[in-house]
Amino acid sequence: MTDTQRAASAAERAHASIRAAIMRGELATGSMISENELAATLSMSRTPVRAALTRLQDEGWVTIYAQRGALVRELTADEVRESAETRNALESAGVRRADPAQRAGLAARLAENLDRQDAALAGGDLHEFAVAAMRFHRAFVELAGNGTMLAIYDRLQDRQFLSILRSAGRISGDPQLVTAEHRELLDHASRGDWAAFAAALDAHQARSHGLPTAW
């Protein structure tokens, strides 16, 4: 392996490690992180860490301040709203375009996922809940069988995850309501009632993320 390849590999590892730490909440939004401390923690030089932070800044995860470090960004209200609106459009379109055969068995396929959500919330594991909830919502887009729609949806996953972390207080405040709303969404989708699904999803997003409703 050449020096260039080793540097690229180290930067890739640093990027993956820092991003994972942010997603797990180990590097909390609003906190300042140091290049030197990250390099020591990851047992590598500052150069790949700096490259990783630059990439994370381009992706919207951090804001770099010269001589100070990098601030872990919190999503703005507009970013949360725009992400929610786009996901609503794609999930509702998936339900609308699904045929009866695609909807058949949807509730059975997602039953285990809902159980995981319940268990995660009961145990206070917001990270596990977020992973399960994101897979749950993605299933509605999958109904359309449209790879382009899924690719667009997947580009929003980082924002979706951070939106869930941002809304931890609302979610943990009434966890049973969260999964009850998910079951309502699944019921509408299984019946193919995309208009009711879209309205219920809008209300669910508004309550979970503190957004105005459009319906």
State the architecture of 3-72 in CATH terms. Answer: Orthogonal Bundle (1.10)
pLDDT digits (tens, 9 = 90+) for 130-183: 999 999 999 999 999 999 999 999 999 888 888 887 787 888 888 899 999 999
pLDDT at 101 over 60: yes
Quote the pTM value.
Answer: 0.79
Higher pLDDT, 212 or 182: 182
Tell me the C-alpha distance between 124 and 172, whole Å.
Answer: 8
pLDDT number for residue 170: 83
Task: Write down the pLDDT at residue 214.
Answer: 61
Alpha-carbon distance of 203 to 214, in angstroms, equals: 8
Average confidence (pLDDT) over 20-47: 89
Beta bridge partner(s), residue 64: 70
The DSSP 8-state label assigned to residue 33 in this structure reads E
Question: Which one has a higher pLDDT value, 110 or 171?
Answer: 110
Residue 149 to residue 44: CA distance in whole angstroms: 39
**Residues 121, 178: Cα–Cα separation, whole Å:** 9
Residue whose entry in the numeric block shows the structure tokens 């995850």: 161
Say if residue 99's pLDDT is above 70: yes
Q: Report the mean per-residue pLDDT for the chain.
A: 90
Instruction: Identify the pLDDT of residue 4.
Output: 65
DSSP string, 44-78: S-HHHHHHHHHHHHHTTSEEEETTTEEEEP---HH
pLDDT at residue 208, as a whole number? 86
- Angle made by CA atoms 48, 127, 172, in degrees to the nearest 5: 140
DSSP bridge pairs for 70: 33, 64
- The reported pLDDT for the residue numbered 3 is 57
> Is residue 5 scored above 70 in pLDDT?
no
Range 34-42 average pLDDT: 93
Environment class of 30 (CB within 10 Å of its CB; exposed 0-12, middle 13-18, buried 19+): exposed
Q: For helices 175-191 and 126-142, give the axis angle rounded to 10 degrees.
A: 10
Q: Look at residue 1 and tell me whether its pLDDT is greater than 70.
A: no
Using pLDDT thresholds of 50, 70 and 90, give the confidence band for residue 27: confident
pLDDT digits (tens, 9 = 90+) for 45-89: 999 999 999 999 998 889 999 888 999 988 888 888 999 999 999
- Token code pair at residue 182: 């998910």
Residue 6 confidence (pLDDT): 65
CATH class name, domain 77-209? mainly alpha
Residues of the chain with CATH 1.10.10.10: 3-72
| CATH 1.20.120.530 domain position(s) in the chain | 77-209
